[in-house]
Structure 1
Amino acid sequence: MDNFNFYSPTEFVFGKDRENDCGKYVKKYGGTKVLVHYGSGSVVKSGLLDRVKASLKAEGIAFVELGGVKPNPRDVLVYEGIDLCKKEGVDFIVAVGGGSTIDSSKAIAAGVKYDGDFRDFYCGKAAIAAALPVATVLTIAAAGSEGSESSVITKEEGMVKRGTGSDLIRPKFSIMNPALTCTLPAYQTACGATDIMAHVFGRYFTNAEEVEITDRLCEAGLTTMVGETPRVVADPDNYEARANIMWAGTVAHNGVVGVGRSQDWNSHGIEHELSGLYDCAHGAGLAVIMPCWMEYVCSHNVMRFAQMANRVFGVAMNFENPEETARKGIKAFRSFLKSIGMPINFTELGAKEEDIPVLVKNFVAAKGENTGGFVNLTPSDVTEIYKIAAHATV
């Protein structure tokens, strides 16, 4: 196991009706004037936005509102939010929604405290040195942004998707009511589940040795998703299954399953170019890319893939031919994704094989000519992974 520091200070407020306590927690963490940031009409139609605002009013906390966050959140709205916060003297941001709304809120929080262009944080020109405090009222289990230091924003001009990270934008508190996710369409639920699994796999495929404790934690998260996702697809109102998925999404990306081990985020980076160019759901893009990346790098450590196949998908271990076990595990993963309604190739995603050179060019611009991780990838490697994704089958 590698040396590590672990820091995850977010307070998680979990359970039914906990959104009604939002104002109390804003006051606890020092907020006096809040930007309530949200997406489209769903939080309005459900009454959630009104409940959050009522909780702020009950505590005497002033607020302004900014809606309109889209999936793959755009820089244009971030600029609008920064200007609004400065004009109104906002000192706290509450994100009401999913990962896109939270990521947009984090970008605004950092941008308010910065004299330059907030995008400097997302292209490596500057590091976040200060930010407004952020909190969340979560409506979808997926990105894990409610407990992470990460944020991803799409530049509307050219549709380029880039990320940043800092503990300064990690939420102060996150309100998590699994019942709020019951109205999600099956496709969005499945996209979220896929993203959660991707966050675990980004830690699971490691070159660190003797990491049994975090291996088992990763496997617990993965088997939870394999077991619970079909339950909520079949029965959207299953609160207990929703609760397990929601907490799995947080644990998958708040750092706890990644301690003591190197990580690999290349499949995430490869997917970002797909959802940037085609504006597809991040989880759907991951469903296409992850098994293809696995197939391409499997030979680097066959036993790790065989372990995943055995412990997560119940594939019998073939000790004489562990690669057979590994390949069956990857196939089982792709079959699972297909079974919950996810795409598995370019055609199903709406991507085009002729765009692969553009995708690779954008990936290299973001990550460089040689990206490290479980396996280092060159532009030719990334090209081959996209080619596998173009024609993948179950």
Structure 2
Amino acid sequence: MDNDVFYNPTKVIFGKGTELLCGEEVAKYSDKVLLHYGGGSAERSGLLDRVRASLRAAGITVYELGGAKSNPRLDLVYEGINICRSNSIGFILAVGGGSVIDSAKTIACGTPNSDDVWDYFLGKKMAQALLPVGVILTIPGAGSESSDGMVITNEKTMAKLSYGDDRSRPVFSILNPELTYTVPAYHTAAGITDAIAHVMERYFTRTEHTDVVDRMSEAVMRGLMRSAKQAVTDPENYDARAEIMWACKIAHDGTLGMGREEDWGSHQIEHELSAKYDVSHGAGLAVVFPAWIKYVYRKSPKRFIQFAMRVFDVEYDVNDPDWTVSQGIKRFMSFLKTISMPTSLRDMGINDKSVLDELAHRCAENNGGSVGHFAVLNEADIRNVLELAY
């Protein structure tokens, strides 16, 4: 294991009815809150009314900003910053999934500083101060409810970039599995795929002697796949929804990356897909990750053999280790298909192969010329991964 630091101060409030506690939690930080959310589902379900009532009962003045979209947009972030500055708001409460949370975190970064918040994503500056953020999670998968990062899309430049800051970890996250009952099967599956990819970005490493974290990672991946099938066929299965919600949190809270170098190349490649085509991030990862494995596994086959054997119960073929890896990839893709995830660009309706050059170029350009750590991929490599994904 490498030297490392684990830091995750997010208070997790887990279980049925816990959204009713948001008022007393927010009141610990501010008497004014920006309530940030996405579309109409939280309103239609009555969740927002319960949240408003809890906040007002705690004596908190509530301002609102809805409209957060999948692949959250910079323009809405600027709107939120203006609302917070104009009303001296001291807390952001995100009600939704990863897109809403990332948007809320970015508003929290931008409000107390005079910089253009986009400069943080361009790597030009770091935020000097941040507002505290709380979360009521409705769509598990992104892990943003206790992670240190956020991803935002600049519609003007078509760049989808990330910014990481330990201070952006939410001060509390409310996780009630009941709130996920109405999430459509496709978005449930995409969130689960995103979480599995978060584990894989950490699991595929060159760092040696990480068996404890390896075994934890394998358990999380297997658990997510097992619960995925239950949740998709039985949406109100509380136990399956609870397992998924907790596993998605663990997948991206830093636990499974402890003591080892992480990769993240597949995520950066996928960001170009969702920036250009506005596809679900999880669905994009379902396409990119198997192709990435096919392209890079020979750089350190033993880790992919381990993945195939421990996660998918593939027998080890001493005479043909490549067969073991290929069976692992095959079973992974088979699982993705069982939950109706795409496994190729064509499955996503991307039929123009000429776009691969553009995607590869933008990916390299937006990430300093290369992506990844397990395997450092330049523009030509990225193009080859996309070719395999096609």
Question: TM exceeds 0.5?
Answer: yes
Aligned residue in 1 for 2:64: 65
In 2, the alpha carbon distance for the partners of 1:370 and 1:356 equals 16
Deviation at 1:175, TM superposition (A): 0.3
Aligned residue in 1 for 2:363: 363
Where 1:104 maps in the other structure, the secondary structure is helix
Where 1:210 maps in the other structure, the secondary structure is coil
Where 1:137 maps in the other structure, the secondary structure is strand
In 2, the alpha carbon distance for the partners of 1:145 and 1:370 equals 25
Runs (4+) of structure 1 moved beyond 4 Å?
A: none
Where 2:354 maps in the other structure, the secondary structure is helix
Where 2:36 maps in the other structure, the secondary structure is strand
Where 1:127 maps in the other structure, the secondary structure is coil
Aligned residue in 2 for 1:88: 87
Percent of matched pairs sharing the same residue: 49
Aligned residue in 2 for 1:10: 10
In 1, the alpha carbon distance for the partners of 2:33 and 2:372 equals 40
Deviation at 1:6, TM superposition (A): 0.4
Deviation at 1:276, TM superposition (A): 0.4
Aligned residue in 2 for 1:136: 135
Deviation at 1:349, TM superposition (A): 1.1
Aligned residue in 2 for 1:336: 335
| Residue 27 (1) aligns with residue 22 (2) | no
| Residue 115 (1) aligns with residue 114 (2) | yes
Aligned residue in 1 for 2:354: 354
Which residue identity does 2:382 align to in structure 1? V
In 2, the alpha carbon distance for the partners of 1:362 and 1:23 equals 43
Deviation at 1:320, TM superposition (A): 3.1
Aligned residue in 2 for 1:277: 276
In 1, the alpha carbon distance for the partners of 2:195 and 2:179 equals 18
Aligned residue in 2 for 1:383: 383
Deviation at 1:321, TM superposition (A): 2.4
Residues 37-96 of structure 1, C-alpha deviation per residue, up to 9 Å, x if partnerless? 000000000001111111111111111000000100000100000000000110000000
Aligned residue in 2 for 1:302: 301
In 2, the alpha carbon distance for the partners of 1:45 and 1:202 equals 36
Where 1:353 maps in the other structure, the secondary structure is coil
In 1, the alpha carbon distance for the partners of 2:372 and 2:228 equals 31
Aligned residue in 1 for 2:157: 158
In 1, the alpha carbon distance for the partners of 2:142 and 2:381 equals 26
| Residue 313 (1) aligns with residue 308 (2) | no
| Residue 100 (1) aligns with residue 107 (2) | no
Residues 90-124 of structure 1, C-alpha deviation per residue, up to 9 Å, x if partnerless? 00000000000000000000000111210001111
Residues 133-168 of structure 1, C-alpha deviation per residue, up to 9 Å, x if partnerless? 001000011100000011000001132211101011
In 2, the alpha carbon distance for the partners of 1:367 and 1:147 equals 24
In 2, the alpha carbon distance for the partners of 1:295 and 1:116 equals 42
Where 2:222 maps in the other structure, the secondary structure is helix
Aligned residue in 2 for 1:174: 173
| Aligned 8 A contact 1:66 1:81 in 2 | yes
| Aligned 8 A contact 1:22 1:55 in 2 | yes
In 1, the alpha carbon distance for the partners of 2:372 and 2:329 equals 22
| Aligned 8 A contact 1:110 1:130 in 2 | yes
In 2, the alpha carbon distance for the partners of 1:163 and 1:24 equals 31
Residues 321-359 of structure 1, C-alpha deviation per residue, up to 9 Å, x if partnerless? 222111110111111101100011111112232111111
Which residue identity does 2:329 align to in structure 1? I
Deviation at 1:367, TM superposition (A): 1.2
Aligned residue in 1 for 2:374: 374
| Residue 185 (1) aligns with residue 176 (2) | no
| Aligned 8 A contact 1:128 1:168 in 2 | no
Where 1:135 maps in the other structure, the secondary structure is strand
In 2, the alpha carbon distance for the partners of 1:303 and 1:226 equals 23
| Aligned 8 A contact 1:303 1:326 in 2 | no
Residues 177-216 of structure 1, C-alpha deviation per residue, up to 9 Å, x if partnerless? 0111110111000000000000000000000001000001
In 1, the alpha carbon distance for the partners of 2:385 and 2:94 equals 35
Deviation at 1:14, TM superposition (A): 0.4
| Aligned 8 A contact 1:303 1:323 in 2 | no
Where 2:173 maps in the other structure, the secondary structure is strand
TM-score under structure 1 length normalisation: 0.97
| Aligned 8 A contact 1:98 1:141 in 2 | yes
TM-score under structure 2 length normalisation: 0.98
